Amino acid sequence: MSKRHSHKHRKKEPVERISMSLSPDLLSEFDKSMKSAGFSDRSKAIQTALHSFIAQYDWDKGEDSRNGAGAIMMLYDNHAYNHDSESTHVQHHYSDIISASTHLHLDHDNCLETVMVKGEIRRIKELAKKLSENRGIKSLKVHFVSVV
């Protein structure tokens, strides 16, 4: 006989039902996209889209006192960027928001580093700016989500 595991579930938040008007073309594109992304119903897909919209809005408008989490991804020239001194030095000043980092050798010349962060948007933006100023950085992208 198998044992059933009891899981603590968060109390469900009350939800509000809303209505929206969309053009048939937009609805068709949304339905195709949500199915391709693996969503089984519109509500969950719309909730996910709204979370992404809010996170991007918070990031863009500079709502710096809010908290969020994300990843800073850097592609850099392995020969021009001194990872051991430059990146490590900067990251030590932001240890309050850095949860982890990974380093991947892509080829002889290129490396990808991902820094996972959580904390105030202001601090995440500061860290991204400092890292982007280092010589050898070819590309730096921040993927950010609001903690709502």
**87-137 residue pLDDT tens:** 788 889 999 999 999 999 999 999 999 999 999 988 999 999 999 988 889
Per-residue b or e along 13-29, where b marks 16 or more CB atoms closer than 10 Å to that residue's CB: eeeeeeeeeeeeeeeee
pLDDT in tens, 62-82: 666 788 899 999 999 888 776
Whether 99 and 130 map to the same domain: the answer is yes
Structural domain range at position 105: 67-146
User: Is 108 flagged in the annotation as binding?
Assistant: no
Where residue 93 sits, what CATH number does that domain have? Answer: 3.30.70.1150
Task: Judge whether 97 and 131 are in contact, CB under 8 Å.
Answer: no
Establish if 8 belongs to a structural domain.
Answer: no
pLDDT (0 to 100) of residue 144: 84
User: Is 103 flagged in the annotation as binding?
Assistant: yes
Burial environment of residue 121 by CB neighbours within 10 A (0 to 12, 13 to 18, 19 or more): buried
Establish if 77 belongs to a structural domain.
Answer: yes
* pTM, entire model: 0.67
pLDDT in tens, 2-38: 444 444 555 677 888 999 999 999 999 999 999 999 9
User: Is 9 flagged in the annotation as binding?
Assistant: no
Q: Where are the alpha helices (DSSP H) in 9-120?
A: 24-36, 42-61, 88-93
Sheet with 67-77, edge to edge strand ranges:
98-105, 110-120, 67-77, 137-146
Establish if 48 belongs to a structural domain.
Answer: yes
Q: Alpha-carbon distance 135 to 104, whole Å? A: 18
Whether 57 and 72 map to the same domain: the answer is no
Rg (CA), the chain: 20
- Residue 131 corresponds to which tokens in the numbers above? 């890292």
Whether 126 and 104 map to the same domain: the answer is yes
Return the C-alpha torsion angle 85, 90, 96, 125, nearest 10.
-150
pLDDT in tens, 94-107: 999 999 999 999 99
pLDDT (0 to 100) of residue 59: 75
